Amino acid sequence: MIIVLKPHAPENKLKEIVEITIKLGYEPKIIKGVEHTVIAAVGDERKNQSLESLKNHPYVQNVLPIQKPYKLASREYHPKCTKVKIGNYFIGAGHFQVIAGPCAVESYEQMRQATSDVFKTGVRIIRGGAYKPRSSPYAFQGLGEEGLNILQAMKDEFKVAVVTEVVGVTHIDKIAEVADCIQIGARNCQNYHLLEMVAKSDKPVLLKRGMSTTINEWLSAAEYLLVNGCPSVILCERGIRTFETATRNTMDVGAIAVAKQESHFPVIADPSHAAGRVNLVLPLAKAAIAAGADGLIVEAHPDPVNACSDAAQQIKSDEFHKFMESIEPLIKICCSK
């Protein structure tokens, strides 16, 4: 941390601030300028108490962090791209994956049809929520354990890998029995207790960016998963809340590029939740691939009009091949091993 004192701060105040930094576990190095004195407080900001509180000191002008709040997730720490294994399939480091399936598991027939349709197009990792976080508490919240059993049946029949969301700590063990990768949804990106408990399940985690989290906060959440024992993280940009209403969320294409530069983990995009409307899913998917995404997670449903959740944005699963054919040339250009 760098502590910048106000111009002409008296010696006794400098001494006072130096003592506080020592008390908080840092080694202070004083640099005296013509007007400003600066203290470089040496120490690990993740292990020691933050010096941010010094911003409230009458003789401190500013406190600036030097370290990023994420280390294990950073490219500085691990320059090469990391590939993550979901079931038998790799994602990242040149391995592009399209994860597809309905928003929610609604029935065996619905899930089987969706899986069969997307499987035919080459998809090997399916999605489907057994537990659904919803904007309204009165909306469909998923089939729960019955949904997990249906996902298991898909694995048994199609040998696909499964990504499914966790919304509460009490479901983690059951979900981990079926899921090859556990999804933390946008609404839970900063639910640190949930992150901590999911990290202990030893499964890779697909971490959606919260609708109002900064990239820094999102990567810090990834770091928290790693620190708590999670083997690997897949970062997912799914659109953020802005003033714009033409799309459900604003897909932050820039965030894909930033996350790829800042972190060694795979970064994927969810054009479905960003778009909110089926006819915008393809262009947003293309934008994400062009920005460097390592994969996509896309909603597909056999009968979107009658879907229990997110009806407007789901691609009809028997038309999913058109989506796959449209993105294929771009994947070849943008994603190389």
Which residues contact ligand PEP by CB under 6 A?
Answer: 103, 129, 133, 185-187, 208, 238, 270, 273
Residue 29 near residue 42 (C-beta atoms within 8 A): yes
Residue closer to Mn ion by CB (options 3, 181) is: 181
Shorter beta-carbon distance to ligand PEP: residue 307 or 327: 307
CA–CA separation, 330 and 100 (whole Å): 18
The β-bridge partners of 129 are 104
Shortest approach of ligand PEP to residue 273 CB, angstroms? 4
Q: Which is nearer to ligand PEP, 264 or 273 (CB)?
A: 273
- Judged by DSSP in three states, 125 sits in strand
Measured from the CB atom, is 232 or 317 closer to Mn ion? 317
**How far apart (Å, rounded) are the C-alpha atoms in residues 245 and 185?**
21
Question: 139: burial class by Cβ within 10 Å (0-12, 13-18, 19+)?
Answer: exposed
What is d(CA 304, CA 313) in angstroms, rounded to the nearest whole number? Answer: 8
Q: Closest CB to Mn ion among 28 and 101?
A: 101
When CB distances are held under 5 to 8 angstroms depending on the partner's kind, the choice from Mn ion, ligand PEP, none that residue 186 binds is: ligand PEP
- Asked whether the beta carbons of 71 and 223 are under 8 A apart, the reply is yes
133 binds, among ligand PEP, Mn ion, none (CB under 5 to 8 A by kind): ligand PEP
Binding footprint of Mn ion, residue count (CB under 5 A): 2
Question: Considering the complex, what minimum distance in angstroms separates the CB of residue 135 from ligand PEP?
Answer: 9
| Cβ(175)–Cβ(145) below 8 Å | no
Is residue 195 within 8 Å of 201, Cβ to Cβ?
A: no
CB 147 to ligand PEP: min, Å: 12
The one-letter amino acid code at 207 reads L
Q: Closest CB to Mn ion among 180 and 310?
A: 310
Least distance to ligand PEP from the beta carbon of 178, Å?
Answer: 16
Q: Nearest distance from residue 132's CB to Mn ion, in Å?
A: 8
Considering the complex, what minimum distance in angstroms separates the CB of residue 194 from ligand PEP? Answer: 13
- H-state helical runs in 179-240: 192-199, 215-227
Mark 95-134 with x for binding to Mn ion (rule: CB under 5 A) and - for no binding: --------x-------------------------------
Q: How far is the CB of 52 from Mn ion (least distance, A)?
A: 37
Question: Does residue 203 sit in helix, strand or coil?
Answer: coil
CB atoms within 10 A of CB 209: 29
Q: Enumerate residues 281-310 that contact Mn ion by CB under 5 A.
A: 310
At residue 40's C-alpha, the angle toward residues 263 and 264, to 5°, is 5
Residues that bind Mn ion (CB under 5 A): 103, 310
